[in-house]
């Protein structure tokens, strides 16, 4: 019983998908210490009823964390260099209290995705260090970064269910505001300089 006090049961409720990985409906985590904490419960069959918790509520209660990225605009070559440096304080995504995060980066023109990059997955960590650099070629005919924006999606890799979005960051575009807008404006006004900043991950 002493050993069981450190063990939890993780139940995942899925929706079957014939053509892709099953989608998660919700989850229930039960610690064995709460189930077998009483001497009267030993060697007795137990029936449990627990509310299924949507994963989105779990993420909201913990916060989504932050992402550190660095950008460099090179007008002479019409290239935008993006470095995904690291993230911190990510929410716990599995029963071990950890996550398997990776980042997708989209280049958008007039809010339409035109290119995509992706980092490697970092296993079992809430503070991943990526240090991965990507170069986006701005298509011919597009002058400057006026209608260009970037979208960062931080996801949790899962072997069984669909990979889940932990949070996102948008730089550039009409919806850009706050520290994201300050960072983007600095990149646009200071070409050939690598400029880094932290950004809170949002829903």
pLDDT at 187 over 60: yes
Per-residue pLDDT tens over the stretch 10-31: 787 877 766 555 667 777 877 7
**pLDDT of amino acid 166:** 94
Averaged pLDDT of the chain: 86
Between residues 7 and 154, which one has the greater pLDDT? 154
Domain map of the chain by residue range?
Answer: 3-53, 61-200
Q: Match domain 61-200 to its CATH number in 3.40.50.970, 1.10.3720.10, 2.60.40.150, 3.20.20.70.
A: 2.60.40.150
Per-residue pLDDT tens over the stretch 79-92: 999 999 999 999 98
Long-range pairs of 93-99 with CB within 8 A, sequence gap ≥ 24: 93/55, 93/156, 93/164, 93/166, 94/10, 94/156, 94/158, 95/8, 95/10, 95/29, 96/124, 98/124, 98/125, 98/126, 99/124, 99/125, 99/126, 99/156, 99/166
**pLDDT of amino acid 1:** 47
Between residues 105 and 33, which one has the greater pLDDT? 105
Q: Give the mean pLDDT of 62-84.
A: 94
**pLDDT of amino acid 146:** 87
The token pair that represents 44 in the structure block: 């007795």
């Amino acid at each position: 019983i002493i050993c069981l006090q450190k063990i939890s049961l993780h139940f995942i409720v899925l929706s079957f998908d014939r053509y892709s990985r099953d989608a998660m409906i919700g989850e229930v985590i039960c610690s064995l210490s709460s189930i077998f904490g009483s001497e009267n419960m030993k060697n007795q069959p137990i029936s449990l009823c627990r509310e299924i918790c949507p994963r989105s509520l779990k993420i909201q209660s913990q916060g989504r964390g932050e992402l550190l990225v660095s950008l460099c605009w090179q007008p002479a070559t019409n290239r935008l260099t993006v470095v995904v440096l690291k993230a911190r304080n990510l929410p716990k995504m599995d029963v071990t209290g950890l996550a398997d995060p990776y980042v997708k980066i989209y280049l958008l023109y007039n809010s339409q995705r035109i290119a995509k990059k992706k980092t490697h997955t970092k296993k079992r960590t809430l503070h991943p260090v990526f240090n991965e650099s990507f170069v986006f070629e701005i298509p011919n005919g597009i002058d400057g970064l006026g209608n260009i924006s970037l979208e960062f999606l931080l996801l949790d890799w899962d072997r069984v269910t669909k990979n889940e979005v932990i949070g996102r960051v948008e730089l550039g575009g009409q919806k850009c505001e706050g520290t994201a807008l300050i960072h983007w404006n600095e990149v646009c006004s200071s070409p050939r300089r690598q400029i880094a900043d932290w950004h809170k991950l949002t829903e």
